[in-house]
Amino acid sequence: MNPWDFGDVSVLGVELWNTLDGGETWERMGPEWWTYEVHADKHDLQWLGPNELILATDGGAYRTTDHGETWQDIEALPIGQFYHVTHIPWAPGWYTAGAQDNGTSTGNVSVAANWTRDRGGDGFTALYHPNDSNLRVATVQYANFAYSLTSWDVEPDWTDFTEGIDSEDRQPWDAPIMFHPANPDVAWCATERVYRMEGAPFGIWEPVSEDLTLAVSPGLSFRVVTSLSGSPFNPDWVAAGTSDGQVWFTTNGGGDWTLMVDDLPQRQVTDIAFDPFHADSITVTLNGYKDAVYTPHVFRASLGGAWQDVTGDLPDHPANDWRALNDSTWVLATDFGVYHTTNWGQHWARVGDMPFIPVFELDVDTAASQLVAATFARSIQTFPLDSLLPEPTVVEPVDTNVIAVGEFVSPGASCLRLLGHPFENRGRAQLDPAWQGATWSVHDLNGKTMATGMVSGTTLEWGMHGWPSGGYVMQLLPKRGAPCTTRFVKGETR
């Protein structure tokens, strides 16, 4: 109600309706929502004068000074509600993110008020193929996947990416989809069950599981797969979590699935992730909102093993997304901001001075040395990775102008054997069993730490997506004895 005119009443919904005669007649107060001159889904308004008001919508705030005849978009409000964010492998420091009712957008801090609008609807997971700079994916609600054969910095041309998905399936609001990290030419997605596509995006989705949920009422329509993860060490290993607390994994590309729920609270799985530093380990985060339970849950297990609670001393707010920065340092997105641990979850501390707001996903941009957060209140935020990791081991810089590339191609020490060298987006080496328990680290030729971890077997693997091509140094530091240093090359991605 307009406090300057009690007969002037507005009703907010998808449209804004207004009466000037106490409800006898009604008219739309502004353009139709689909023009997007004023965004759809009106939530609140505040009168500033007899004909002036501010309107809050799903797309931000608008002002009128002539009782809705014209509207001004109040730009650059850092209040976006983002579900997901991913870094662009071909452009360090640039990100693509999906927002609630504001589609999929791309940008960074240099264009903070002018991100591109890549796709509409509610935006969710965005993907970039790690080996093909001209293949990207964007998601709209209810598993409406699309791909574009364009580079990140040109306007996308979207093609439907849903052929083969059964239209009778229960479609998640936020449907998971991924290029498998160990074989990105195979894509995976999920509804109530899991699908796989060979030769993505040009194949057809084939179901590789039955319904993985409990498939019971009440709430049957909400029982869906909520999270997928692929092992970076094995293209046949995939894990899936559901909205009703079921955790499954396959070790043969979806041929068979094993349930893994003993000692796990029956809560919605918000994230499931293979550990990039431990080939046989997975971590899950759980959310108890549906049962009015706000306790955080973070659990960890070897594949097929017993779950261990690594929630530690987290505050009582649900956990949403888990990422490993090295062997013992993890970061966690929660409904109360971002937390990190340096001792496998025994103690957690807040990251930076972010407000106490929901964060739904984190992304680790090693090339730009940034931890990226998709917040559901304050848009996209970043934090320097270096401040979350141990002090780097200083490696003497190497003058690549005087050392031939060939010197890098052959390992400089006998402690490990490089496999498939020179590398592209993933490095692999074979070690003697005596190095079990040693700490490993990779540095660029200026001494910057690129990756760290602990040796847990005789084969060592590490990801290098987004790293510049050139020479790097691998260092092994045993618990006792002398360290070993080996040089290697990351080549141009084909």
CA distance 475 to 489: 14
Query: For position 51, what pLDDT does the model report?
Result: 97
3-state secondary structure of 315: coil
What is the DSSP annotation of 205-263? -EE-SS--S---SSSGGG--EEEEEE-TT-TT-EEEEETTS-EEEESSTTS--EE--TT
Provide the total of helices (H) and of strands (E) in the chain, helices listed first.
1, 41
Phi, psi of 66 (to 5 degrees): -130, 40
Same fold across 82-388 and 405-490: no
Per-residue pLDDT of the chain (494 residues; tens, 9 = 90+): 999 999 999 999 999 999 999 999 999 999 999 888 999 999 999 999 999 999 999 888 999 999 999 999 998 888 999 999 999 999 999 999 999 999 999 999 999 888 999 999 999 999 999 999 999 999 999 999 999 999 999 999 999 999 999 999 999 999 999 999 999 999 999 999 999 999 999 999 999 999 999 999 999 999 999 999 999 989 999 999 999 999 999 999 999 999 999 999 999 999 999 998 888 899 999 999 888 888 999 999 999 999 999 999 999 999 999 999 988 899 999 999 999 999 999 999 999 999 999 999 999 998 888 999 999 999 999 999 989 987 654 445 544 443 333 333 333 345 788 888 888 888 888 887 778 778 888 888 777 788 887 787 777 888 887 788 888 888 888 877 778 888 888 887 65
| Class of domain 405-490 (CATH, top level) | mainly beta
* Residues 442 and 462 sit within 8 Å (Cβ to Cβ): yes
| pTM > 0.75: yes or no | yes
pLDDT the model gives residue 130: 92
Domain ranges of the chain: 9-74, 82-388, 405-490
Q: Give the pLDDT score at 395.
A: 45
The CATH class, in words, for 82-388 is: mainly beta
Any bridge partners for residue 321, and if so which? 333
CA distances from 361 to 239, 321, 372 (A): 18, 5, 8
pLDDT at 440: 85
